[in-house]
Amino acid sequence: MTNILEVTDLCKTYIINKKQNNVLRNISFSISEGEMVAVMGPSGSGKSTLLYCVSGMDRLTSGRVVFGGRETAKLSENELAELRLDEMGFIFQQMYMMKNLSVLDNIILPAVKSKKNSESRKQTEERGRALMHRLGIDEVGGNDINEVSGGQLQRACICRSMINSPKMIFADEPTGALNRASSDEVMNELLSLNNDGTTVMCVTHDPKVAAKCSRVLYLVDGKIVGEKEMGHFGGADKELRDRERTLNNWLMEQGW
Amino acid sequence: MIWRILKKDLRRKRVINFIILVFVTLSTMFAASSVNNIITVTNGLGNYFEKAGMSDYFIATQGVGESSDEDAVTEKLGVLGSVKDVRIESAVFTMQDKMMKDGEYLLTNTNAYILMADDEAELNYFDSDNNVIKKVEKGKAYITASMANSAGLEIGDRFIYKPLGKEYEFEYAGPLKDALFGSDFMGDPRFIISREDYDEIMSEEGMEPYKGLIILVDTDDISAFENEMPIIEGTLFKAPQSMIKKAYLMSMLVAGMLLAVSVCLIGIALVVLRFTIRFTLEEEFREIGVMKAIGLKNGSIRNLYLVKYFGISVIGAATGLFLSIPFGNMMLKSVSDNMNMVGDNTFLVSVICSVGVVALIMLFCFTCTHKVNKLSPIDAVRSGQTGERFHRNGLLHLGRSKLPTASFLALNDVLSSPKQYAIITAVFTLLMLMIMLLANMANTLSSDKLMFLFGIDKKDVYIADFNNAIEVVGMDEGGEEELVKKCREVEEILADNDMPANVTIEALILAPVTHGDKHAQINFVKNCQTRASDYQYTEGTPPQAEDEIALSILAAESVDAEVGDTVTVTVNGEEKDFIVTALFQSFIQTGSCGRFSELTDTSKMKIAGYTSFIVDFDDDPSDKEIDSRIERLKDIFDTDEIVNTEQFVKDTTGAADVIRSIKNMVIIISVLICLLITLLMERSFISREKAEIALMKAVGFKGRFISLSHTLKFTICAIAAAVIASAATYPFTKLVSDPIMGFMGAVSGTEYKIVPVEIFVVYPLIIIAAAAAGTFITTVFIKAIKASDTADIE
């Protein structure tokens, strides 16, 4: 499998009150196309910072990040924005959307702006509706974002992340603000996308979420201290329970 | 603790706090200086008149006989019961072309010039240091300040006075402040010279017809005096003190316009404050909720905000008060050049204005912080979400819209928060209307729209060569014929130069009018070569028979007459009955005049004055050709006072340039306000929409796209304001300007000149560009928001 993301000696340092704070220290890893990788670790370990750095949302202090064969450090802000718009999808814990747009308009907004999209707005809207149908939220397309549940909103965020058919989706605690039922639904959708070939990198606290991923990276104090190969998840409940047990044991070993 | 919170707030919101400070400073500066100036000019005018020893009524006469006989006039007026005292100044009335400096006219003013000996002064005339001019050295002359200044005269400049054959050389001794004729609107330059020089001039043969009197009448009852005032031969001008005060209207207008700007600024400052306070409260719901949760009362929390705004208001007001001193003096300069204003500028008034601004702002802040009472500790717990459904936000649909994405987002945002953007639109509209109002006034005051107010028909060219017919004034009879002769002479000159034309002139004839127990002396306009029906009337039909007249609305009011009434007019020495057939509006004699029918015989009446020669070319030339002919005529008649219709109105009103310069100042102020408003509001929007901006960046939108979208929001508001202001410009101008024009004589309203390119394109574009530029500049703050800030979304 080809690597879609290669990270070498990634460092990220913040200066706060004249004190140097090394959030990420010499991190190296790679993600192959079609993988679903979870990043776990205690609070403040640098998980989200890692996700932002590798997705081009934040600049590195040093090191190298290559996404789809392009070194992100060498790209300008505008080129990075185009890369994020066309090749990446994002899901955030807070399910944030543009408050003055309907759910459907929020979903299709990145497609309307994308240069690689040659469709008419009507066709884009149809595609947006199809994605919503697939995720089971087609009835809320015309709703305001404050007129839908958290689970529906997060699924809408997944639709938005998918609208430009990205090579990779970056998810930061995608189920962090959801109840268990909604959380399962959202993770099943991500799994389904992954099964269709989309690479996923997901930051999470939740072993139940991480157990559905094919690989888990464990971060402590800005360093990857462990890596667990989980294999592809078939989808059965029993398999999930077994994977959760295995992962929990491994996490205990890492000091979770 | 309060100080710590305040300190943090001031540091965190330094841009917004600074802008509020700027608005408070500007508001105070404008309010203090313009209120002070209005009070100074209003009181100052009264004080100045008192210092000058002004009488209650003024009459100016010229000519031989009674017109220049002091004893005869004193006797005639002294017997009237309403007269307390009569003072008379003897003077020479002369014209522009008699005063030359280096081969050019000394002054640009074309009204009558008054030459007077120092010991003739019955009024007090002040020099530039506000000392009374009592003695003038031989060979020197003081000249009315405004005219001398506009001609750029320097003390020591020499000029020649050549009334007839002999030349007299004078040295300019300095400006003089003449309360009676010194205002811009009156505009009659007075020269005060030594008695020796005056006697020498008067000893020259042929000077008698130029001699005249300035009669100062003191009375306790103006209307009684006007009622019993006899005709004094050769009367050129007569007016009560109230009319002389009106002539200082332009000075008041400047101060009044600036006060209007101050009121607008204070209004805008309050809008900005409201926006900022509401915005701050929305942003700080959590802190307020927590403060309430730990037991702080509403009053204590509100005090926190009030203390901050009180501090800003006091600092702003103090700075504004300090700045208002030089600014007010600058505004007053043109006025104090013409008037003795010593001791009238009251600093206390400025202090009261500043305290008033602070009080107004604090009262406003108090009402705005009322929202604190509505916030509860639960708001803090629930992150501001109350669980209630609010109004629907999005109104447009991206999928169905044909707009570019940035425009769509901007328009959708504007429509989603109509109240917020309506305030911005209202501010932009107000700024545009302020500029448009001044532009419409200035354009109207220099357009042919006002021609009808001067009792002159709109024709091609006006030749203001008043010297040409000066001998007509004061002639016992035949003045009208003489004027017609003069017109024929001008026609011949024009025909000799291949510009055949019909030339006419309007004569002013003073006649006593009685209606019931009301009497008035009214200046009638008469043109022997035109028909009364050629002119505009607001009511009735033009006078067509010899016993019919039209009166201006103010003249009709002065004798309590209406259309259809019969009034008695003394014509050719006989009292005759005339039917008032029409009413009209006029600027002549600040609105009080009449018009005879062309059939009325007035041949034995004295001509009190006349207008320019009115030229109507036979070949109907284009405007361009008229302008070219004007240049040729200037050479032929050796005068610069040859103008087209627009220039004629502009020169006569004399206000267009003053208003135009105020307009230019208001444009600059409006652009600055526009920049400050957009800076403040856009900065606030960026701060509130930080999460959305971060999200857009994270999803892959470029910074410049977000900047464009934000800029478009304000541009949309400015465009909406342009549409509203364009639609409202005429009614707004009419509403504000009609009372001012009415004051000058146009009591039934005026048709205003709108220059479409200027009003509908240039000024809206200036504000739209300022709004767009202000927003775009502020969007630099968007750069500071990174895609990774999505991690901080709450």
Output the DSSP codes for B139-191.
TEEEEEHHHHHHTT--TT-EEEE-SSS--EEEEEEEEEB-TTT-STTT---EE
| Residue among B390, B695, B701 whose CB faces A113 most closely | B701
When CB atoms are compared, the residue of A81, A98, A124 closest to B700 is A81
User: Which residue in chain B is spatially nearest to A172 when comparing CA positions?
Assistant: B791
User: What residue type is assigned to position B29 of the chain?
Assistant: M
CB A127 within 8 A of CB A163: yes
Interchain contact, A110 vs B394, CB within 8 Å = no
| Binary contact (B700, A86; C-beta < 8 A) | yes
CB contact under 8 A, B409 and A122: no
Q: Among 3.40.50.1110, 3.30.420.40, 3.40.50.300, 3.30.565.10, what is the CATH number of A3-97+167-254?
A: 3.40.50.300
Q: With an 8 Å Cβ cutoff, are A86 and B401 in contact?
A: no
Is residue B384 less than 8 Å (CB to CB) from chain A? Answer: no
Match 């701050």 to its residue by tokens. B280
Q: What are the two backbone dihedrals, phi and then psi, of residue B16, each rounded to the nearest 5 degrees?
A: -65, -45
Q: Does A86 touch chain B (CB under 8 A)?
A: yes
User: What is the pLDDT at residue A167?
Assistant: 92
B401 to chain A: which residues are within 8 Å by CB?
121
What residues of chain A lie within 8 A of the CB of B400, using their CB? 121-122, 125
pLDDT < 50 positions in chain B: 384-390
Which residues 702-761 of B have a C-beta within 8 angstroms of A?
702-705
Out of A83, A122, A144, the one facing B399 most closely (by C-beta) is A122
pLDDT given for residue B417 in this prediction: 84
Which amino acid is present at B724?
I
Residue B378 tokens, joined: 């639960």
Q: pLDDT by residue (tens digit) across B174-224?
A: 989 888 888 766 767 899 999 999 999 888 888 888 888 999 999 988 888
Distance CA B447, CA B646 (A): 4
Interface contact A58, partner B, CB < 8 A: yes
Q: CB distance A146–B389 less than 8 Å?
A: yes
Of all residues in chain A, the one with the smallest CA distance to B388 is A146
Residue A35 pLDDT > 90: yes
Instruction: Find the CB nearest A92 among B390, B401, B793.
Output: B793
8 A C-beta contact, residue B73 and residue B231: no
pLDDT, position B699: 84
* Alpha-carbon span B747 to B734, nearest angstrom: 12
Which of A48, A77, A94 is closest, CB to CB, to B703?
A: A77
Which chain B residue's Cα is nearest to A81? B700
Please check whether residue A248 touches B, CB under 8 A.
Answer: no
Whether A229 contacts chain B with CB within 8 A: no
- B386 contact A CB<8A: no
pLDDT > 80? residue A196 = yes
- Report if pTM > 0.90: no
CB contact under 8 Å between A100 and B787, yes or no, is: no
The answer to whether the CB of B429 falls within 8 A of the CB of B563 is: no
Neighboring chain A residues of B418 at a CB cutoff of 8 Å: none
The nearest CA of chain B is from the CA of A129 a distance in Å of: 11
Widest pairwise Cα distance in chain B: 102
Task: Return the closest-CA partner of residue B530 out of B455, B641, B620.
Answer: B455
Q: How far apart are CA A202 and CA A171, in angstroms?
A: 5
Q: A87 Cβ partners below 8 Å, 6+ apart?
A: A67, A68, A164, A166, A167, A168
Q: Summarize pLDDT for B407-418 with one digit per residue, the tens.
A: 898 998 888 888
Query: B465 in contact with A at a CB cutoff of 8 Å?
Result: no
- On whether any CB of chain B is under 8 Å from the CB of A101, the answer is yes
Chain B neighbors of A78, CB-CB under 8 A: 702, 704
From A86, A96, A109, residue closest to B793, measured CB to CB: A96
Q: Using CA coordinates, name the residue in chain A closest to B701.
A: A81
Q: Do A96 and B700 touch (CB under 8 A)?
A: no
Is B390 in the A-facing interface, judged by CB distances under 8 Å?
Answer: yes
Closest CA to B637 of B528, B492, B505, B507: B492
Inform me whether the C-beta atom of residue A125 falls under 8 Å from chain B C-beta atoms.
Answer: yes
| pLDDT, position B389 | 44
Q: Which residues contact B440 (CB under 8 A, 6 or more apart)?
A: B729, B730, B733, B737, B752, B753, B754, B759
Closest residue in B to A169 (Cα–Cα): B699
Which residues in chain B have Cβ-Cβ distances shorter than 8 Å to A105?
A: 394, 397-399
Q: Evaluate whether B696 touches B406 at the Cβ level (below 8 Å).
A: no
CA–CA distances in Å: residue B777 to residues B463, B672, B741, B745, B781? 53, 13, 42, 48, 9
CB contact under 8 A, A92 and B786: no
With beta carbons under 8 A apart, name residues in chain B contacting A90.
698-699, 790
Touching B: A residues 152-181, CB under 8 Å: 160, 172
Could you give the count of Cα atoms lying within 13 Å of B621 in the half-sphere of its Cβ?
20
> Mean of the per-residue pLDDT values for chain A?
89
Cα gap B488→B503, rounded to integer Å: 7
Q: How far is A74 from chain B (nearest CA, A)?
A: 17
Q: Cβ contact (<8 Å) for A113 and B705?
A: yes
DSSP state of B652: H
- Check A96 against B787: CB less than 8 A apart: no
Q: Return all residues near A91 (Cβ < 8 A) that are at least 6 apart.
A: A154, A157, A158, A161, A169, A170, A171, A172, A174, A190
Contact of B314 with chain A, judged by CB distance below 8 Å, is answered with: no
In this predicted model, what pLDDT tens digit does every residue of A94-117 receive, in sequence order? 777 888 888 999 999 899 888 888
Q: Which phi and psi (to 5°) does residue A64 adopt?
A: -145, 135
Contacts with B409 from chain A: Cβ below 8 Å: 98, 100-101
The per-residue pLDDT for range A54-70, each reduced to its tens digit, is: 998 888 999 999 999 99
The tokens for A135 are: 């995720």
Q: Quick check: B702 and A77 CB within 8 A?
A: yes
Q: Give dist(CA B355, CA B314) in Å, integer.
A: 8
Per-residue model confidence (pLDDT) at position B721: 96
Contact B392 A104 (CB under 8 A): no
Judging contacts by C-beta atoms under 8 Å, the chain B residues touching residue A86 are: 700
Chain A, window 182-221: residues with a beta carbon less than 8 angstroms from a chain B beta carbon: none
Which residues 6-35 of chain A have a CB within 8 Å of chain B? none
> B788: which chain A residues are within 8 Å (Cβ-Cβ)?
49, 52, 57-58
Angle at B137 between CA B136 and CA B140, to 5 degrees: 85
Report the pLDDT value the prediction gives residue B354, as an integer from 0 to 100.
Answer: 80
**Cβ-nearest to A57 among B409, B698, B701:** B698
Name every chain B residue with its beta carbon within 8 A of the beta carbon of A99. 393, 692
Task: List the single residue in A78, A104, A146 with the smallest CB-CB distance to B390.
Answer: A146
